[in-house]
Chains A and B, each alone.
Chain A
């Protein structure tokens, strides 16, 4: 079983619509959680950290459910520029700095 699992998509989303997707992680002791964005053939870029209380950054909302071991990302009022692959990232407690990446969820926003 993969340590971080994501639905690969693609999620085809009309411009202006809302899209949400989850990521599950296997290590219950995982410490930190992030969403990264990766454009085609580019490096990943940090989108937002995910906190236990949930957090929002503009049109993006992230939630963490430790009991069920998943995190979610919701994008409101989707823009064409939101088209990308969204990577779920988890850090284990026993190794400082190590990031465990999911394979990503592809989002395609259409006009």
Chain B
């Protein structure tokens, strides 16, 4: 199956710093990548949809100036959490897909666990 990697797998940072998370599709070109966030005991919540070469589409309630998404190539999308605060501590997961047909399978990255002190 398709493989998606994320880097770093975990990060601890001080409040006020910015953190960049990379999501890469390793063996296919991802036309669309999604970014999710999951708090403990809660469901994955979609944050934004990212299409290569265009601006990301953010879900309601997600601050686009705080969560910067860049999808510069068909194999790489980055999420930057700017001025991170303890409430941003969460499990961030990306997924990637390609449009063979509507409703195609999403391939998930292993996730990045962010802890903001």
Residue ranges of A at the interface with B (Cβ–Cβ < 8 Å): 4, 8, 31-32, 41-46, 87, 91, 96-104
Known: A96-B102, A97-B104, A101-B36. 10 other contacts (CB 8 A): A4-B43, A41-B111, A44-B108, A45-B108, A87-B44, A97-B97, A99-B106, A101-B44, A102-B43, A103-B43
Across the interface, do A43 and B102 meet the contact criterion of CB distance under 8 Å? no
In the assembled complex, the CB of B33 is this many whole angstroms from the nearest CB of chain A, namely 10
Identify the 8 closest CB pairs spanning chains A and B, nearest first. A103-B43, A43-B108, A101-B43, A101-B44, A32-B103, A43-B111, A43-B110, A43-B93
Report the separation of the CA atoms of residues A45 and B105 in the bound assembly, to the nearest whole angstrom. Answer: 11
- Please, which residue of chain B has its CB at the minimum distance from the CB of A91? B103
Q: Known interface pairs A43-B111, A44-B108, A91-B103. Does A98 touch B46 (Cβ–Cβ under 8 Å)? A: yes
Report the separation of the CA atoms of residues A35 and B109 in the bound assembly, to the nearest whole angstrom. Answer: 17
Counting contact residues on chain B (CB < 8 A from A), the size range is 20 to 34
Pick from A43, A46, A104 the residue with the most CB of B within 10 Å: A43
User: With a CB–CB cut-off of 8 A, which chain B residues contact A98?
Assistant: 34, 46, 49
Q: Is the interface of A mostly helix, strand, loop or mixed?
A: loop
Residue ranges of B at the interface with A (Cβ–Cβ < 8 Å): 32, 34, 36, 41-46, 49, 91, 93, 95, 97, 99, 102-106, 108-111, 113
User: With a CB–CB cut-off of 8 A, which chain B residues contact A44?
Assistant: 44, 93, 108
Across the interface, do B109 and A43 meet the contact criterion of CB distance under 8 Å? yes
In the assembled complex, the CB of A52 is this many whole angstroms from the nearest CB of chain B, namely 14
- Please, which residue of chain B has its CB at the minimum distance from the CB of A8? B41
In the assembled complex, the CB of A41 is this many whole angstroms from the nearest CB of chain B, namely 7
